[in-house]
Amino acid sequence: MKNLALAVLLAFCLAAPVHAQSAAASAAASAAPAAAQLRELRAAAERGDADAQNKLGRMYLQGQGVEQIPAQAVIWFRKAAEQGHAEGQYNLGERYREGRGIARDDAQAVAWYRKAAEQGYAEGQYSLGWMYKHGLGVTRDEAQAFAWYRRAAEQGNAVAQTELGRMYEYGWSVAKDDVQAVFWYRKAAEQGDIWGQKLLGYMYLDGRGVAKDCAQAKYWLYKSNNVKFMPPCS
C-alpha cells in the first residue's frame, strides 16, 4: 500500500510540470495571433487608415493589448479625426471634454463633437446637445440642445431619448408635453437606460402623459434599480 501511495504521488509530481508547461504553451499560442493583429493594425494606422487609427486610439485609451497611455490615444484619435472619421472626431472631443490625455478644453470638445454630429454620428449629436444645454464651450442654448438631442434620439441613442423626454416634460425650449415625454422615456427605458426607466415609472405613478398605473410604475421604478423605496401609489 505504501508503495502504491508513493507511485501515485510521483505520478502527480511528474504530471504537474507538464500541465503547467501545457498552460504556458496555450497562452503563448493565443498571444501570438493577438500580437500579429496588433502589428497589422499599427501598420495600417501608420499607412493612414483612419479606421485603424481610431481603433488603435481606443486600445491605448483602454489598455487593451498595449500599455494604457491616454496621450497616445489622443494622438491616434486626432489622426483619424483630421481625416474626417466621425467616431474619431467624437473620441477626440471626449478627450478634450474629460481632459484625459490632453488639457481640458470645452471649446475644442464642442468643435470636434460638431464635426461628428454633422456627419450624423449619434453620440456626437447627443454630446453637442449636452454642451449646448449646459453652456460648456458654447453659449447656452436650449433650442440647439433640443435640436441635437432629437437628431440623436431619432437614431436610437437612449441617453438622448431620455434627455429629449425631459425637455418635453419641463417645457425647455419646446411646449410642455407629457405625452411626448412618456413617448421618449419609454424608448429609452426599453433600451435599458436607467434614467428613462425611472422617469417613465414616475409618469405612470403620477398619471402624467399616460393613464395612472401603479403596477407599471412599480415595474419601471424597480427595473431602474435607481430608487431607494417605492413611493405610495393607489
pLDDT value, residue 9 = 45
Amino acid residing at 163: E
Distance of CA 70 to the CA centre of its chain: 17
Rounded average pLDDT over 111-130: 98
Residues with Cβ within 8 Å of 190's Cβ and at least 6 positions away in sequence, in order, are: none
Distance CA 69, CA 80 (A): 17
Alpha helices in 175-213 (DSSP H): 178-190, 194-206
Rounded average pLDDT over 129-146: 98
Percent of the chain with pLDDT over 90: 80
Label residue 5 by pLDDT band (50, 70, 90).
low
pLDDT(120) > 70: yes
CA quadruple 17, 20, 26, 28: dihedral, nearest 10: -100
Report angle CA 216, 221, 223 to the nearest 5 degrees: 95
User: In CATH terms, is domain 157-234 a member of 2.30.30.40?
Assistant: no
pTM for the structure as a whole: 0.84
Distance of CA 107 to the CA centre of its chain: 22
Give residue-wise pLDDT tens across range 142-158: 999 999 999 999 999 99
pLDDT value, residue 18 = 47
Give residue-wise pLDDT tens across range 48-104: 999 999 999 999 999 999 999 999 999 999 999 999 999 999 999 999 999 999 999
Amino acid residing at 155: Q
